[in-house]
Chains A and B, each alone.
Chain A
Amino acid sequence: MSRIVVVTSGKGGVGKTTTSAAFSTGLAMRGYKTAVIDFDVGLRNLDLIMGCERRVVYDFVNVINNEATLNQALIRDKHVENLYVLPASQTRDKDALTPEGVGRVMDELHELGFDFIVCDSPAGIERGAHMAMYYADDAVVVTNPEVSSVRDSDRILGLLQSKTHRAKQGETVREHLLITRYSPARVQSGEMLSMEDILEILAVPLIGVIPESQSVLQASNSGAPVILDKASDAGQAYDDFVRRFLGETVPHRFLEVEKKGFFKKLFG
């Protein structure tokens, strides 16, 4: 059975789409056949981050409405093999998503032999977010070290255990906490919530901490998921996260303030 993973957060702008792109790319790089679906109907972004915006012909809503087949709508990623993108529709709204329609697409992806289906959730707790999480087996909850983001993640965690298909069957959705835009220096100066504070409030297993990094913005603008940038700290942190998700034990990195050496002090 394909494993369905929703990337969600409640709050907007915390890095759901960046994470979905990096996560699905990382899974595909390790040989898993992976599909990544943009559930943000009306505000489609994933195709930009994945660098396939010029190749969108049919979209997710077309497939749900039987206006196109899944094979027609799936876009093969140009960076890695085994990765396919199902883009959102820009001209529709989230009412186009129905539990039956989404369920059918999930079943078809399973029949096509996908190992992982990554669902990139829109912000909010309305229909789009609800549909993205509905069939999930796992949830990666993306949180920034900031109180309102943590509060919204908490709300999403509650919905995951009450409004999903699994919850209705009496099962639970596996929860993973991913902290993004983490800046150890700002944590040290008390401007940001620390990792420990967030874990204390949310009480969910931590799967990764992605440091605040210039490379994320560069990667987004160039349309190549940041995980492909092996030299960047964010890219490495995302790679660690994927390995942990697949069951490896990898120690957490980028949690301490980097000590500047003599040359760094001189040259910045």
Chain B
Amino acid sequence: MSGELIEIKGEMTLISVLRLASAEIELIRQGVQNKRDSVPQLFANSPLVVDCSQLGDGCAALDMVRLRATILDLGFIPVGIRNITDTCVEAAIQAGWAVLRAGRATGASVRVERSVSEEKADADVPTTVMTSVKVIDRPLRSGQQVYFPEGSLVILQHTSAGSEILAGGSVHVYGSLRGRVLAGIGGDTSARIFCQKLEAELVAIAGHYRLLDDIDTNLKGSPAMVWLEGEKLKIAPMF
């Protein structure tokens, strides 16, 4: 097979899904803009799939051309649209949309906090394995924050009370873990937290968090692992 110039394979990729609750373009613009401005570094130039399952027949009222223009205008790359009614397919293709087959049920994904107005669009991030790793070789001091949505974080030293670690994947701390640590911030429920000495203020995986005050005290100060089992955050000694 080495002679092939190109290869086309069906693969899974992490992609943001914009779930519409309204066909009103201005409301969509507002909602997406608010989301984008809250975490600009997460969304800059990111591809976006529009999901219309909540609209149902309301799809017909959706202006496919303006929708596409609005999304581009906000700095996203519109990749495709899904869950539209059959009557809308033609208009979507005309407007330059790739019509995707219905996605799987989104039960596994973690919903970004719903905005106050019901009409606002929600952005959902499905889970996909991330492989990138970032290594920090200095202590993480009080007031410092490491943000690495692209993958896992490895801290070779201790982290102090008042520090914050945010990773898309897992977090490994080869010293005392004293600050806050949030793994799987993009919704990766398989992310885990490992540390040499658990003294964290707060641990979280994919949005499920626990304070150390709630944790069995005999785990404090010992090597521990944190993972998610269903909806429950589990903490256990490593050795």
Contacts and interface: CB of A to CB of B under 8 A. Distances in A.
B144 A162 contact: yes
Interface stretch (A98-106, A149-157, A231-239): A149-157
A200 to B, nearest CB: 8
A158 B157 contact: no
Interface residues of A, number: 12
B139 A203 contact: yes
B143 A158 contact: yes
Interface string A183-205: 00000000000000000110100
Interface residues of B, number: 16
Contacts of A157: 139, 141
B230 to A, nearest CB: 36
A158 B146 CA distance: 12
B9 interface: no
Most A Cβ at <10 Å: residue of B140, B160, B161, B163 = B160
Interface string B154-184: 0001101111000000000001101000000
Interface string B121-160: 0000000000000000011111110000000000001101
A5 to B, nearest CB: 20
Contacts of B160: 151, 154, 158, 201
Contacts of B138: 161
A155 B158 contact: no
A144 to B, nearest CB: 16
Most B Cβ at <10 Å: residue of A151, A154, A200 = A154
B139 A155 contact: no
Nearest to B157: A203
Nearest to B140: A158
Interface string A130-154: 0000000000000000000001101
Contact of B143 (A155, A200, A201): A155
A162 B141 CA distance: 11
B29 to A, nearest CB: 37
B177 to A, nearest CB: 13
Given A162-B144, A203-B139, A154 B157 contact: no
Nearest to B138: A161
A158 B161 contact: no
A125 to B, nearest CB: 8
Contacts of A159: 143
Contacts of A155: 141-143, 162
B159 to A, nearest CB: 10
A151 B158 contact: no
Contacts of B162: 151, 154-155
Nearest to B141: A158
Interface in A32-65: none
Contacts of A203: 139, 157-158, 175
B144 A158 contact: yes
B143 to A, nearest CB: 5
A85 B206 CA distance: 55
Interface of B: 138-144, 157-158, 160-163, 175-176, 178
